[in-house]
A and B are shown apart, each in its own frame.
Chain A
């Protein structure tokens, strides 16, 4: 079928000020219909207050094969975590 509706990735923001989160995908002929379909498919129980739709072909993703080199720079920088530093109890809350 050449005339298949394109695939859209759906992002929903929930009630409590969280950022939009990927919830799944669906088919729709255009953005307007993708939002309408997302309303019916992904927010039937008040799951969201805002919907983003992005045509799946426009998403660029990191490759799982590059996982090692891609994240290595952060693996070796444990001092980025606050728990790296020992602060004496006497100092109080920090």
Chain B
């Protein structure tokens, strides 16, 4: 999940009696499955929560380019390089769709970026783990994009129109990402012993961080109820995590790789796999900024933003100059 632990604004779910007339009408529209559009009335807390959630989602797409960008220049073949480049370019696009959706709520993209850089907004914990070798690029596409799809598919039905529409576009493009990752995994898992060992090693390191993407267990997920009532969250963290494990295990079996969780076992009664929780202390530490790569990731983002400033300003100056020149030409004619 690219938006984890989004703090829901407000005081929790109100009963119809506690709601104002406007709030009641708003909730009724959501319950009827209507989409809320930018100029519609909405509670301030709904708006604030969406800005946090969509903003965090957008930041995740952008920061998520870094671990993969790391391997563009070192891809094993020209074809793999071109594919990875296209994938990373998609992530930039996804970030832009989401920033646009967020901007319809009355916050500017530059403000969002500056909040990220000031540490006031988060991005997904997963991107604070390193990509140490080429097999990691396979595992990231397979597992991380797989987990992202699991989250994003349900968000296509979210109540906020611009967010739902961004999700539809993103989901269309996302399955290419997962397949390119799985294709790398197949190549390595069916390669020589050393390649297979690399694939296994990548899976070992990325399995639990991928499970963390869905956020803390439901019992500790304090913000869910209101967000679910507003339909900006459709499924619980544990539901999505279970779905992810159930979908991934057969894919892992096909690769002939072993799950690093020794407790993974098919449970006939529930019709799903039993599995171990990731280390939640590690998860919270990573969110607090103490993951393996937090400092590198933020430093790279801030550097890109600051180094790009003269380009952004230069293009604005050029546009301004042309506007004046064109106006003068029109006046002279």
B39 near A45 with CB under 8 A, answer: no
Shortest C-beta distance, B33 to chain A (Å), equals: 17
Contact mask for chain B residues 209-249; partner A; CB cutoff 8 A; 1 contact, 0 none: 00000000000000000000000000000000000000000
Which of B68-76, B88-96, B193-201, B257-265 binds A?
Answer: B88-96
B313 touches A3 (CB 8 A): yes
Do A29 and B318 contact each other (CB < 8 Å), given the known contacts A3-B313, A4-B108?
yes
Q: Which of chain B's residues have a CB closer than 8 A to the CB of A7?
A: 100, 103
Give the distance in Å from the alpha carbon of A26 to the alpha carbon of B94 in the complex: 12
Kindly supply a per-residue 1/0 record for chain A positions 27-54, scoring 1 wherever the CB is within 8 Å of any chain B CB and 0 otherwise. 1011001000000110011000000000
CB pair B40–A3 under 8 Å, yes or no, is: no
B173 interfacial contact with A, CB 8 Å: yes
Interchain CB contact under 8 A, A61 and B39 = yes
Please state if B322 and A30 are interface contacts (CB–CB under 8 Å): yes
Given A29-B316, A45-B173, A64-B40, A40-B322 contact (CB < 8 Å): no
- Asked if B110 and A1 sit within 8 Å, CB to CB, the answer is yes
Structural contact, A5 and B100, CB atoms closer than 8 A: no
Q: How large is the interface on B (under 10, 10 to 19, 20 to 34, 35 or more residues)?
A: 20 to 34
Q: Assess whether A63 is interfacial by the CB under 8 Å rule.
A: yes
CB-defined contacts of A5 to chain B, threshold 8 Å: 312, 315-316
Cβ contact within 8 Å between A64 and B93: no
B114 at the interface (CB under 8 A from A): yes
Decide if B109 is an interface residue (CB 8 Å cutoff): yes
Measured in the bound complex, the distance between the Cα atoms of B197 and A88 in whole Å is 75
Main secondary structure of the interface of B (DSSP, over half): helix
B103 in contact with A25 (CB, 8 Å): yes
Quick one: given A33-B315, A44-B90, are A64 and B108 in contact (CB under 8 Å)?
A: no
What sequence of 0s and 1s flags, for each residue 142-163 of chain B, a beta carbon within 8 Å of any chain A beta carbon? Answer: 0000000000000000000000
Contact at B100–A25, with CB atoms within 8 Å? yes
Query: Which B residues touch A25, using CB under 8 A?
Result: 100, 103
- B70-107 interface code vs A (CB 8 A; 1 in, 0 out): 00000000000000001001100100110010010000
> A76-91 CB contact bits vs B (8 Å, 1 = yes)?
0000000000000000
User: Given A24-B97, A24-B100, is A64 in contact with B37 using a C-beta cutoff of 8 Å?
Assistant: yes
Within the complex, which residue of B39, B114, B315, B319 is in contact with A64, where a contact is CB–CB below 8 Å?
B39
For residue B156, give the distance in angstroms from its CB to the closest CB of chain A.
Answer: 15
Instruction: Using CB atoms, name the residue of chain A closest to B323.
Output: A30
B166 lies within 8 A of chain A by Cβ? yes
**B residues near A30, Cβ cutoff 8 Å:** 315, 318-319, 322-323
| Smallest CB-CB A-B distances: 10 pairs | A30-B319, A29-B315, A29-B319, A1-B110, A25-B100, A4-B110, A29-B316, A64-B40, A64-B39, A41-B93
6 A-B residue pairs with Cβ-Cβ distance under 8 Å, sorted by A, are A4-B108, A4-B110, A5-B315, A5-B316, A41-B93, A64-B37
In addition to A4-B108, A4-B109, A27-B109, 6 A-B residue pairs with Cβ atoms within 8 Å of each other are A1-B110, A5-B312, A7-B100, A26-B100, A40-B89, A41-B93
Interface residues of B (CB under 8 A from A): 37, 39-41, 86, 89-90, 93, 96-97, 100, 103, 108-111, 114, 165-166, 169, 173, 312-313, 315-316, 318-319, 322-323
